[in-house]
Amino acid sequence: MGTENKNTPARSAGGEEKKSLNFIESIIEEDLKNNKNNSVVCTRFPPEPNGYLHIGHAKSICLNFGLAQKYNGKTNLRFDDTNPEKEEVEYVESIKEDVNWLGFNWEGEARFTSDYFDQLYEWALKLVNTGFAYIDDQASEEISKQKGTPTQAGIESPYRNRLVEENLDLFTRMKNGEFKNGERVLRAKIDMASPNMHMRDPIIYRILHKEHHRSGNKWCIYPMYDFAHGQSDYIESITHSVCTLEFEVHRPLYDWLLNHLYTEGTIRPRQIEFARLNLSYTIMSKRKLLELVQKNLVSGWDDPRMPTISGLRRRGFTPASIRKFADIIGVAKRDNVIDVALLEHSLRDDLNKIAPRVMAVLNPLKIVITNYPEDKEEWLKIENNPEDESMGTREMPFSREIFIEQDDFMEDAPKKFFRLAPDKEVRLKAAYIIKCEEVIKDDKGNITELRCTYDPDSKSGSGSEASKRKVKGTLHWVSVKHAINAEVRLYDRLFNDEDPAGHKEKDFKEFINSDSLKVLNGCKIEPGLKDAKPESKYQFQRLGYFCVDRRDSKPDNMVFNRTVPLRDSWSKINK
RNA sequence: UGUCCGAUGGUGUAAUUGGCAACACAUCUGAUUUUGGUUCAGAAGAGUCCAGGUUCGAACCCUGGUCGGACAGCCA
């Protein structure tokens, strides 16, 4: 387990470096010190199965599972499935897959709030019996009107003081299906004048004649989030219920309910809120992501441009890079916007260490090496990863005709252009030094081919004087005869605005980057890539990190996705 | 004329709880490099939202402001 130190390493008494705690860790350590909850730590990740997980959820996942790991605790996976109108099994499966892929294992089986419906109903009955909940017959508009506004107290419902017996009878009949959707609700009796809107007699049960993806038609009343979440935490003995900031105002209700249902001596969960992740050039709202999918603006939830976990996965992100990212962005309570560059940094950092180097030419330009024998071919030895010797070497075929990148040749090259130009020399990586002798063009003036000569004594690694010669540039290349054709998809950020969802007057879709996907066909890759497995990751030397697309790549028609380009200081100079 | 939460370089997070504001990303130099990658060395960039106060000493404590966010679903 690598414990990367990020922030100022505080010196502990022993003198070894210690990472400073985030505010949640501080709370937990304080609890541990006080032996609260028998010094047990149990967290949970509680998604509603109504969509795919995204990078924002990844932050929460890493936080919740990370906290438990750090303090020797457990983490539950719980599907918060109290609204059958929005939830589907498809999402349950994808969520499980994504959490696992990120590298986390939840405690026992996945849980479902719907498994607690009986208990929740019992607790609702208890509130009714103790006079803390009542049935309201009013229509939703009426109730909403009486609720007041944040700056104005609400007024009490005419049904607020119903007798317990009547409430009990009506609630039972609600449960038995005697009423239609919206005809009645169960409300907690708290305080219509509370400055906190959530305490103004919140609705805790509503009628919904709708089949549930798990409980089927057993129920036609469903608990609201507020009545389900805290109690589910309580049922599962969650000690620290970590959620995002928008639930802060719900906390008094969370605590109020627990106060009425809590049994002395049991583990009492505590809600802690942190600021959700915002990423520049990205949208995070499930609703908007769904819109992109539904309007076919992307190919699906796992489109490599999507910030979904499945999208990042297909793009070629590694779980480790996402975990690292979650670690370095930290956890706090202030609103934040994290620069996507930071995500890309942790991606490259990981890929640089693990991705084998490979040669691929995206926009091929043919070179004929005129003094290289027609029928000769050599297999040249080349390292797989200069960062990691243990990854060994491989052999690559070299011959008279090779492809180089179109960008690597310029007829009228500026001084700083370290690549091939007429009469200039360049090294072919792991091969020979070549010199450009002639430029062949078609009748329109397009460059179609280059004629070069090579220096036979300059072979890489041969130890000869010529092999040690310093030439300005080193190019990647692929032998024409041996190259495999491939499709390469170049992905760029989906939006060209830093905050696509942050414009009041404009729809976020107006900021979609029309160049976010470029499909290149006829790319030339080295023959060793023939058996590359779906999702395997490579560095296309001098270009970037690429992976075999897990959906569309076929053995006879390979498809690579560009995960992220290499940092490119040349393009900056070039501007 | 509400309640709650927040405010530290461009961005994000720290500051061992009152002791010279640090780390990462981004930016810019330079070195190394058979990847214009990596690595290494370095630079610049905040005096901690504002105004008072307490203190030998305040990013941290107190008072009063300012600005930003959340809350008016039978969504979660």
Q: What is the pLDDT of residue A4?
A: 33
Structure confidence by residue, pLDDT tens digits, A200-242: 999 999 999 999 999 999 999 999 999 999 999 999 999 999 9
Q: What is the pLDDT of residue A505?
A: 85
- Nearest nucleotide (CA of A475 to C1'): B35
- Choose among A491, A526, A513, A54: nearest CA to A290: A54
* Separation in Å: B11 C1' and A526 CA: 40
Q: Which of A19, A36, A48, A437 is catalytic?
A: A48
Annotated active-site residue A16? The verdict is no
Residues 6+ apart with CB under 8 A from A229: A46, A80, A113, A241, A254
Annotated active-site residue A111? The verdict is no
* Separation in Å: B16 C1' and A111 CA: 40
* Separation in Å: B70 C1' and A196 CA: 11
Q: A273 near A243, Cβ under 8 Å?
A: yes
User: Closest residue to B15 by CA to C1' distance?
Assistant: A8
- Choose among A354, A396, A360, A345: nearest CA to A535: A354
Q: What is the pLDDT of residue A18?
A: 64
Annotated active-site residue A348? The verdict is no
User: Closest residue to B69 by CA to C1' distance?
Assistant: A335
* Separation in Å: B27 C1' and A567 CA: 14
Q: Would you mind telling me the total number of residues written for chain A in this entry?
A: 575
Q: Which of A18, A36, A276, A435 is catalytic?
A: A276
Q: Which of A162, A184, A286, A459 is catalytic?
A: A286
Helix ranges, A517-556 (H): none
- Which tokens is A294 given? 């539904």
- Which tokens is A552 given? 């569309």
Torsions phi, psi for A256 (to 5 deg): -60, -45
User: Closest residue to B36 by CA to C1' distance?
Assistant: A570
- Nearest nucleotide (CA of A47 to C1'): B76
* Separation in Å: B25 C1' and A535 CA: 27
| Exposure letters A92-112 (e unless 16+ CB within 10 A, then b) | bebbbebbeebebebbeebbb
The residues of chain A scoring below 70 in pLDDT are 1-18, 575
Task: Work out the end-to-end distance of chain A between its first and last CA atoms, rounded to an integer number of angstroms.
Answer: 43
- Nearest nucleotide (CA of A184 to C1'): B74
ipTM for the complex shown? 0.96
CA angle centred on A75, ends A91 and A316, rounded to 5°: 50
* Separation in Å: B1 C1' and A230 CA: 33
* Separation in Å: B75 C1' and A439 CA: 66
- Nearest nucleotide (CA of A342 to C1'): B25
Q: What is the pLDDT of residue A13?
A: 36
Nucleotides of chain B in contact with protein CB (under 7 A) are 1-8, 10-17, 22-26, 28, 34-39, 68-76
- Nearest nucleotide (CA of A330 to C1'): B13
Structure confidence by residue, pLDDT tens digits, A126-137: 999 999 999 999
